[in-house]
Structures are given as structure tokens and as C-alpha cells.
């Protein structure tokens, strides 16, 4: 069988191809020359499968989609505290190139607008970094995320630098307030190179999937960023990634995202996939018109809105039954807080009063950290109630079950129910 997913992506493109609203960015002369009709899409799952349709291998400049990744690299290089001292996380409600800073601290409001992104670029590597080291840090980090060596589009770079007066004035203002200390021109030059890194939607979907996968690259299996940095980055994308359209985006699409003026749009759906669209005509906010429509459509069709969580935790306790002198609790699925709470509720409401409580963990797919801690605490309390506690755990989903952090173990850990003994 051939997967229907690429057919679905093609259908999204076909349905939106007639939409010629919006205009190609022209404040960067080289971008004005782009073919406005190109349209491509790529989706990479957290387990590393990529599906594409349309112009999926066409290179374009990453532009502002570089911002979340440079922010992530700055946090890796300098630590979250040092980065937050210089750039905030609040939605600005303003255009991407607004000359705005927070009232008291003079920090840029967030790293997704140019002021914050120029600051994040300046933080790359370390205080004494040379301009070319910052650019190489961004290029090599993005390359690792994309899984191939990315280059810089020099003609887009020089075209933007020639007309970069607005970003230069932002950088001068940042320097005036002590947010950056390197020469304004060097920082804008480096930031502009970072924006000129060439990608395809296929690359971007892999970069997004790495964020969605909590920082582990879906193909190489390598940890490229920590879970905490991936979470910070996607959170800022959710709040600020679409500039002054961020609120509408969150209510209608609900996927952490970032747009760029070359027409790219990247979404990272936590735990599921990265999705990227290319279509160069932009709306008044500087976001790709067909890109936004494609995301709206996919979010609605495929139930991708972040807030639309499925109540799968409710079915975590599959069965409770008594056999001989034991009560068996059969647990299944992925266990997060909600699921762990229902397991504890099953323990609490058990009135069988059998001498043994058996937890059959055979069908558990995944225990989150909180799921593991709450389950262990439940086993500890069963033990304190005087029950013999047996864990059936053939796949070791609960390795070294230390119930009280002091070496208290279940009375037995066995591979299958026939071994629960007495």
C-alpha cells in the first residue's frame, strides 16, 4: 500500500493553489524576484518519516524561521538566565520589525521580532565571539537539525544588507541601551547572514520535528538540544512566532510556529511532527497567505490544535479483577498525570481486601516521569496498607522500582501473571 499522507498534502496544495492573495516581500530586492507561485509542503514525524508534496526541494532563504533556532542555540551557549536578561518572552503585538523595547529593562520583548532576534544572534557562542563564529554557529546548528550541510544564499544576503537601515537602527538602539555590546554593523551583518541560510521545506520539517521530539533528531537519534530548551523554544513560537497575528494563529491553528518573509512557514506539533510550507505571497503581518491557510486546514482536518488533547488517560486502567488471593490491576497505554491519577483512584477505591495487589504493567507503552513517580507512590501506599505488592513487568517499563527513595522494593517483580505466587 502507498501511504495516503502525501496524497492528503497534495490535496491541501491543490485546494489552495488558486489563492493569489498577498504580495511577495520587496523590501529585500532579491526576494521580490522570487516566483510567487511556488508551493511546497513537507511533514516529518517524530519517528523520522518525511512526506512531501509540491516544491519540496526548492531552496529559499530561511529568514525569520532562523529566529527560534538561533534563540535555542543562544540558550545552549549562554544559559537561559543570561539570555532572559537580554531578551524577554512576551508577545509584542507589534510588527516584526518594530523598533520597540520593554519600558524598564529596555530588553526586546521576545526573540521572534527583529530586535530580539538580533540580540539572540549577538549572544551566540560567547561574549568574546568573532562575528564569523556567530554565523558559523548558526549555520552548523541549523545543519545538524536539518541533517545536511546548509549553505548561505550570498545574493539574498548582500541584497538585504544593502537595504538594512531599519535593522541597523534597531541594533544601534540595542547598543545604546547596553543590550548588545558588539558594533551594530557586525551584528546586523551576522544576523542577515543567518537569515540568508538556504533551506527547503524538507529541511525545515526535520528541524521542526526535532523540536517536536523534545530535542532528539528523529533520524540520527542524536540529542541536539535538551528537552527544556526545545520546550522554551516552542513556547516562544506559540506565543510570539506569528508576530501581531499570534493570538489569531493560536486560536485558529494552535501549533507553535514561525514564519519568514521568503514565504516559509514552520510548525512544530509537540510529540507528533514538524510541518513546513513554502508560498512567497505574504499578508499584512508578513506571514505566507497560503501557508497560513494550509496550516488552518491541516489543523482542522487532522485535529492538530495543541489544546485539543484527547482524553486517552481515562482508559489507562484496563481492568481490575480478583484471582485467588490477589487483586490484579491491568494498566495500559501512555501514562501522564491524568492517567496516573486514575490508577491511584483505582487503588484507592479497591475494596476487595485481598492480601496481594498485583500491578500488571505488560501493556504500558510509556510512563512519563510524573507517571512513574505517581505509580511508585501508589505501590508504596499499598505496601503500607499491608498488601503484598507484585509488579508484572516483562519489558521493564519500571526499572529499579524504588518505592520510597530508600530502597523499598515491591515484594516481587515477575515476567508474567502465572508467576505471581503467594
Q: Tell whether residue 63 is a contact of ligand GLN (CB under 6 A).
A: yes
Near ligand GLN by CB under 6 A: residue from 71, 96, 249, 295: 96
Nearer to ligand GLN, 110 or 167 (CB): 167
Q: Tell whether residue 68 is a contact of ligand GLN (CB under 6 A).
A: no
Residue tagged active-site, from 196, 243, 288, 330: 243
Q: Tell whether residue 189 is a contact of ligand GLN (CB under 6 A).
A: no
* Residues 9-38 interacting with ligand GLN (rule: CB under 6 A): none
Do 80 and 236 meet the contact criterion of CB atoms below 8 Å apart? no
Q: Tell whether residue 280 is a contact of ligand GLN (CB under 6 A).
A: no
- Check whether 261 is labelled as a binding-site residue: yes
Query: Shortest gap between Cβ of 245 and ligand GLN (angstroms)?
Result: 12
- Check whether 243 is labelled as a binding-site residue: yes
Residue tagged active-site, from 24, 46, 64, 330: 64
Residue tagged active-site, from 61, 67, 188, 358: 67
Nearer to ligand GLN, 55 or 98 (CB): 98
Nearer to ligand GLN, 45 or 61 (CB): 61
CA 214 to chain centre: 7
- Pairing, β 356-367 against β 326-335: parallel
Nearer to ligand GLN, 45 or 114 (CB): 114
Q: Tell whether residue 244 is a contact of ligand GLN (CB under 6 A).
A: no
Cell numbers placing 310: 484527547
- Check whether 167 is labelled as a binding-site residue: yes
Nearer to ligand GLN, 45 or 167 (CB): 167
Query: Shortest gap between Cβ of 262 and ligand GLN (angstroms)?
Result: 7
Residue tagged active-site, from 46, 52, 187, 261: 261
- Check whether 160 is labelled as a binding-site residue: yes
Near ligand GLN by CB under 6 A: residue from 44, 97, 110, 288: 97
Nearer to ligand GLN, 115 or 316 (CB): 115
Q: Tell whether residue 279 is a contact of ligand GLN (CB under 6 A).
A: no
Nearer to ligand GLN, 92 or 97 (CB): 97
Query: Shortest gap between Cβ of 24 and ligand GLN (angstroms)?
Result: 12
The footprint of ligand GLN on this chain (CB under 6 A) covers a number of residues equal to: 11
Active site residue 24: no
Near ligand GLN by CB under 6 A: residue from 44, 45, 64, 100: 64
Taking the CA atoms of residue 222, residue 70, residue 122 and residue 135 in that order, the dihedral angle to the nearest 10 degrees is 70
Active site residue 64: yes
Cell numbers placing 199: 533551506
Q: Tell whether residue 195 is a contact of ligand GLN (CB under 6 A).
A: yes
- Check whether 224 is labelled as a binding-site residue: no
Query: Shortest gap between Cβ of 201 and ligand GLN (angstroms)?
Result: 15
Q: Tell whether residue 160 is a contact of ligand GLN (CB under 6 A).
A: yes
- Check whether 349 is labelled as a binding-site residue: no
> HEC profile for the chain?
CCCCHHHHHHHHHHHHCCCCCCEECCCCHHHHCCCCCCCEEEEEECCCCEEEEECCCCCEECHHHHHHHHHHHHHHHHCHHHHHHHCCCCCCCCCCCCCCCCCCCCCCCCCCCHHHHHHHHHHCCCCCCCHHHHHHHHHHHHHHHHCCCCCECHHHHHHHHHCCHHHHHHHHHHHHCCCCCCCHHHHHHHHHHHHCEEECHHHHHHHHHHHHCCCECCCCCCECCCHHHHHHHHHHHHHHCCHHHHHHHHHHCCCCEEECCCCEEEEEECCCEEEEEECCEECCCCCEHHHHHHHHHHHHHHCCCCCCCCCHHHHCEEEEEEECCEEEEEEEEEECHHHHHHHHHHHHCCCCCCCEEEEEEEEEEEECHHHHHHHHHHHHHHHHCCCEEEEECCCCCCCCCCCCCCCCCCCEEECCHHHCCC
Residue tagged active-site, from 92, 156, 191, 389: 191
Cα of first residue to Cα of last residue in the chain, in angstroms, is 50
Q: How far apart are CA 420 and CA 330, in angstroms?
A: 14
* Residues 103-132 interacting with ligand GLN (rule: CB under 6 A): 114
Q: Give the residue among 234, 311, 312 at the shortest CA–CA distance from 274.
A: 234
Query: Shortest gap between Cβ of 166 and ligand GLN (angstroms)?
Result: 7
Neighbour count for residue 149 (Cβ, 10 Å): 10
Residues catalogued as catalytic: 64, 67, 191, 243, 261
- In the complex, the residues that contact ligand GLN under the rule CB under 6 A are 63-64, 96-97, 114, 160, 167, 195, 260-261, 286
Please enumerate, by residue number, every residue annotated as part of a binding site: 64, 114, 160, 167, 191, 243, 261
Please enumerate, by residue number, every residue annotated as part of a binding site for substrate: 64, 114, 160, 167, 191, 243, 261
Amino acid at each position: 500500500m502507498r501511504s495516503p499522507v502525501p496524497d492528503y498534502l497534495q490535496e491541501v496544495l491543490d485546494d489552495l493553489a488558486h489563492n493569489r492573495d498577498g504580495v511577495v516581500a520587496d523590501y529585500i530586492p532579491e526576494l521580490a524576484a522570487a516566483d510567487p507561485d511556488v508551493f511546497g509542503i513537507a511533514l516529518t514525524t517524530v519517528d523520522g518519516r518525511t512526506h512531501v508534496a509540491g516544491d519540496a526541494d526548492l531552496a529559499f532563504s530561511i529568514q525569520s524561521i532562523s529566529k527560534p533556532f538561533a534563540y535555542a542555540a543562544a540558550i545552549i551557549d549562554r544559559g537561559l538566565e543570561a539570555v532572559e536578561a537580554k531578551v524577554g518572552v512576551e508577545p509584542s503585538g507589534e510588527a516584526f520589525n518594530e523598533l520597540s523595547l520593554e519600558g524598564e529593562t529596555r530588553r526586546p520583548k521576545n526573540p521572534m521580532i527583529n530586535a530580539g532576534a538580533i540580540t539572540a544572534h549577538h549572544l551566540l557562542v560567547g561574549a568574546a565571539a568573532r562575528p564569523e563564529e556567530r554565523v558559523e554557529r548558526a549555520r552548523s546548528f541549523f545543519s545538524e537539525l536539518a541533517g545536511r550541510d546548509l549553505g548561505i544564499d550570498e545574493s539574498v544576503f548582500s541584497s538585504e544588507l544593502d537595504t538594512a537601515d531599519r535593522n541597523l537602527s534597531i541594533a544601534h538602539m540595542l547598543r545604546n541601551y547596553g543590550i548588545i555590546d558588539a558594533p551594530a554593523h557586525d551584528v546586523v551583518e551576522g544576523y542577515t547572514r543567518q537569515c540568508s541560510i538556504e533551506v527547503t521545506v524538507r529541511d525545515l520539517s526535520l528541524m521542526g520535528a526535532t523540536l517536536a521530539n523534545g530535542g532528539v533528531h528523529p533520524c540520527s537519534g542524536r540529542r541536539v538540544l535538551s528537552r527544556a530548551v526545545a520546550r522554551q523554544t516552542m513556547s516562544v513560537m506559540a506565543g510570539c512566532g506569528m508576530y501581531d497575528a499570534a493570538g489569531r494563529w493560536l486560536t485558529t491553528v494552535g501549533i507553535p510556529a514561525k514564519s519568514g518573509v521568503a514565504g516559509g512557514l514552520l510548525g512544530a506539533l509537540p510529540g507528533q511532527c514538524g510541518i513546513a510550507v513554502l508560498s512567497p505571497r505574504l499578508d499584512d503581518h508578513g506571514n505566507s497567505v497560503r501557508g497560513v491557510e494550509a496550516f488552518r486546514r491541516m489543523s482542522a482536518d487532522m485535529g492538530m490544535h495543541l489544546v485539543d488533547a484527547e482524553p486517552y488517560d481515562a482508559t489507562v486502567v484496563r481492568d481490575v479483577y480478583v484471582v485467588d488471593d490477589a487483586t490484579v490491576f491491568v494498566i495500559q497505554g501512555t501514562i501522564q498525570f491524568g492517567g496516573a491519577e486514575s490508577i491511584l483512584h483505582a487503588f484507592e477505591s479497591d475494596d476487595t481486601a485481598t492480601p496481594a495487589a498485583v500491578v500488571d504493567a505488560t501493556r504500558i507503552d510509556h510512563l512519563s516521569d510524573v507517571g512513574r513517580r505517581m505509580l511508585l507512590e501508589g505501590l508504596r501506599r499499598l505496601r503500607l496498607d499491608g498488601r503484598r505488592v507484585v509488579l508484572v513487568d516483562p519489558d521493564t517499563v519500571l526499572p529499579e522500582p524504588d518505592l520510597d527513595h530508600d530502597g523499598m522494593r515491591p515484594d516481587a517483580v515477575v515476567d508474567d501473571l502465572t508467576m505471581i505466587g503467594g
